[in-house]
Amino acid sequence: MIRAWRSDALVGILPLAALVALWWGIVAAGLAPRALLPSPVAVFGRTLASVADPAFLLHAWATLSRLFAGFLVALVLGVGLGLAGATNRFVGGVLRPVVRILAPVPKIALYPAFVLSLGFGDASKIVLVVADALFPILLATYQGAARVEPKLVWSALAAGTSRRAAVWTVVLPATLPSILTGSRIGLVVACIVVFLAEMITSTDGLGYLLVRAARSFQTVEMFVPLIAISALGLALNGALAALRRRLLAGFPNED
């Protein structure tokens, strides 16, 4: 088991290493002007230095807190609406057309409107994260809940559980695999979108750091927030995968 995991991790690291090697090769061969493409050594060195820099950590924390706030609201809303839509005919009837219309809308296009109504602070960015992370979670929850084996619910109802209680004690746990799949997508989307929002208008956060560095042609500093956000995404994904293993211990193994 552990050996398999190790070899999986190894296989996953190889293309990353190849990418960095390619980057280093381009720089070493002088194929790209050093002012535009700094060497990976400089970038990773600066990234490591930044991790010890309190000012940088404050920016990272700003990004992370927005990401978490938005993701958690999206999770609660998405799971709640998805469950309600799948288990209540009226809610489902109202929800389906609304979701069909709103899901394909590029939420980033709504960001100027959010900024105008909510200001430049955290609120507009969090709302944007919610708007983008909500739909993958909602759709996955809805489809998962709609496909719960009816006999699971019947078994609960026959045991004397009310229909309302069966939603919490049966439909929700039975939908957990779908919810976690949707959350995984929602989390990646949240990483992307919080960074974008910070690039557009912000005075802090990793996205802001990137734009600030770009405007002053500090190419090394420009790459640091990128590496930071991808490391953050990797860590969050890993945490979610660990949570998944724990929560889904009893479910049939996926592939």
Residue with Cβ nearer another protein (146 or 196): 146
Q: Which of 174, 209, 222, 236 binds another protein (CB under 8 A)?
A: 174
Tell me how far apart the alpha carbons of residues 146 and 193 are, in angstroms, rounded to a whole number. 29
Residue 192 identity: I
132: closest CA among 205, 191, 181, 199? 191
Q: Cβ distance 205 to 126 under 8 Å?
A: no
Q: Which of 169, 201, 219, 237 binds another protein (CB under 8 A)?
A: 169
The distance of closest approach from Cβ of residue 188 to another protein in the complex, given in angstroms and rounded to an integer, is 25
Residue with Cβ nearer another protein (215 or 246): 246
Q: Rule CB under 8 A: say whether 7 interacts with another protein.
A: no
Tell me how far apart the alpha carbons of residues 65 and 162 are, in angstroms, rounded to a whole number. 38
Tell me how far apart the alpha carbons of residues 83 and 142 are, in angstroms, rounded to a whole number. 6
Residue with Cβ nearer another protein (175 or 202): 175
Residue with Cβ nearer another protein (118 or 247): 247
Q: Cβ distance 32 to 17 under 8 Å?
A: no
Q: Rule CB under 8 A: say whether 218 interacts with another protein.
A: no
Reduced DSSP (H G I as helix, E B as strand, rest coil) percent helix, strand, coil of the chain, to 5: 80, 0, 20
Q: Rule CB under 8 A: say whether 161 interacts with another protein.
A: yes
Q: Cβ distance 183 to 137 under 8 Å?
A: yes
The distance of closest approach from Cβ of residue 153 to another protein in the complex, given in angstroms and rounded to an integer, is 9
Q: Rule CB under 8 A: say whether 176 interacts with another protein.
A: yes
Q: Which residues ranging from 117 to 156 are in contact with another protein (CB under 8 A)?
A: 149-152, 154-156
Q: Which residues bind another protein (CB under 8 A)?
A: 149-152, 154-161, 165, 169-170, 173-174, 176, 247-252
